[in-house]
Chain A
Amino acid sequence: MEDGRVKTDVIVVGGGPAGLMAAHRLAQEGLEVILMERGAYAGSKNVSGLLYATVLSEAIPDFEQRAPLERPVTRRSFGFLDDEVFSYLTFGSRDWASPPFNRTWVVYRAHFDRWLAKEVEEAGATVLEETVVDDLLYDGEGENRRVIGVRIRGEEEPFFADTVILAEGALGIVTRKALETLGGMSQTPQVYGIGVKEIWGLPSGVIEDRFHLESGQGAALEWIGSPFKGLVGGGFLYTGKESLALGFIAKVDSLIAAGIAPYDLMESIKAHPEIGRYLAGGELLEYSAHILPEGGLRALPKLSHHGLLIVGDAAGFVNASFYHEGANLAMASGRMAAEAVIQAKLIGDFSRGALSLYERMLSNSFVMEDLRHFRRVPEAQKVFPRLMDVLPARFCRLLVDLYQQSTEPKRVQQREAFRKMMEGIPKLRTIKDLWKLKGMIG
């Protein structure tokens, strides 16, 4: 407090992985931090799937003992589905089944984020829940305009800070306003996927049986193919302790173009026997949805401004390749933003120049390395519907045909199976499409 004003070193807007990791690091270094979260508790508005926890383990090395984790992922499967035929590629490693479990966990964000917020408080930050930031507060004009605090809904007086970290997630209403005010919106507009999810309760023993798991282990299944109706997207199924998380992620544009409602897609996915079988006998516990930014490298805005840094999904740090990662990029960006603020505090300079250390750190980290590596994902997504309409089905059919029992000699059977696989596929276009699809895998 200075002359009756609330003034702190840093205000973090948003209590998801990005904001929480930033606040944690800052508090550890003894900076005065206030984190503002609009939900009743951190995580109450947040939806995701797996947590890749390498960054988390740097911040909280013993998180495995303390965090509310569901199951580690000890086996993974990619499935190609067609209405009639299916095929799976299943893999794992003995390593994955013992600590540190390849740092891959199924978590429920309402539990996980809430726990992480407690850790952040214990590290010394103040977490204000039920607090909606509506706008930033500025000082100066033009190039020199700088952020000096935030406006909170229902509060007369603004809160002041040397630096504000925007960790608003994909909705990013305040972030958008800030970029309109300060400049730095990308020329390439951001594009979004929608993730929709259902949590189904099932006894732990049934889950372990169905997914071939030892006690306490977990599985991750991902599918593409006919249940996803030629959309740019696919499905996932992750095992919780006593629940399953089934869902899909699809480009919003592709759903609009196809005129498909998300809840209808969810129902038709469950109607596929290869998917529905896992839920049999279960009970729906929750239904949830959230968008995620999928525009990648080219849609990134300017990340550092005078008195302001943008982290996590608010910045657009999602690797929308087949890896589909966001929470770990959010955590990494949050920690690097904190690092830049710590350095800025040492020299007492919170200008864009000083804070842009954040961008240099990002650029040398896996966050930007991966976004650069997967910069062609948007182009790959364009050919996705065309290829996904035929490829998974043809591939499954090939396998099934090769094993179809008959009195035909194998030579004839094989030739026929390969002929059927290629039938009607425009070769040149498909080769071109496949080349573009490569963007999905790097």
Chain B
Amino acid sequence: MSSQSKDKQGPPPSLYLPLEEKLYRVRYEIDSDHAHIRVDPEVCGQCREKVCTFICPARVYTQDPEDSNLVQVHYENCLECGTCRVACTRGGVIWSYPNGGQGVKYRFG
């Protein structure tokens, strides 16, 4: 590459970022009065795969430390991407749009 003289080559050391670091760069309006995501404990209790816990790009769903059959929802990190809605085919995810102007507020998108 012609840019060899200017750029340092080789795998850059500082690209790795844990999810917390990624989410830290996202701007949100957090609506503490309205959780726009809920899960149905009846449905989740029967669900073994728990795809929501790894398919969500913001790790909004995590295993409940009190009861490993259930999941907790950290709705305030939601990117409103829609993935959980199509990934959970059991109907465990109850997802509505956040209130007007609330939720994720991309600066680039």
A45 near B22 with CB under 8 A, answer no
User: Given A276-B15, A291-B86, is A43 in contact with B55 using a C-beta cutoff of 8 Å?
Assistant: no
Range for the number of chain B residues in contact with chain A: 35 or more
- Residue pairs across A and B with CB atoms within 8 Å: the count is 170
Smallest Cβ distance from A366 to chain B, in angstroms? 25
- For residues 170 through 229 of chain A, which have their beta carbon under 8 Å from a beta carbon of chain B? 170-171, 173, 192, 194, 196, 198-199, 206, 209-210, 212
Contact between chains at B8 and A280 (CB < 8 Å): yes
Given A154-B99, A209-B7, A277-B7: A288 in contact with B83 (beta carbons within 8 A): no
A60 interface residue (CB < 8 Å to B): no
Shortest Cβ gap from B78 to chain A (Å):
10
Residues 113-130 of A, flagged 1 when their CB comes within 8 A of B and 0 if not, give: 100000000000000011
A262 beta carbon closer than 8 Å to chain B: yes
The answer to whether residues A256 and B26 also contact, given A192-B86, A267-B16, A290-B81 and a CB cut-off of 8 A, is: no
Docked-complex contact B57 and A43, CB < 8 angstroms: no
Binding site for A on B (CB under 8 A): 1-3, 6-12, 15-17, 19, 21-23, 25-26, 29, 51, 54-59, 79-83, 85-87, 96-101, 103-109
Judged by DSSP, the binding face of B is loop
Report the bound CA distance from A29 to B97 in whole Å: 32
Contact B106 A47 (CB under 8 A): yes
Residue tally, chain A, CB below 8 Å to B: 61
**Which residues on the A side are within 8 Å of B82 (C-beta)?**
170-171, 192, 290-291
A286 at the interface (CB under 8 A from B): yes
- B66 CB → nearest A CB, Å: 23
Residues of A within 8 A of B2 (CB): 209, 212
Q: In whole angstroms, what is the CA distance A129 to B59 when docked?
A: 28
How far in angstroms is the closest Cβ of chain B from A229?
14
The answer on a CB contact under 8 Å between B100 and A154 is yes
**Which residues on A sit within 8 Å (CB–CB) of B10?**
273, 277
Give Cα A4 to B105, complex, Å. 34
Residues of B within 8 A of A154 (CB): 99-100
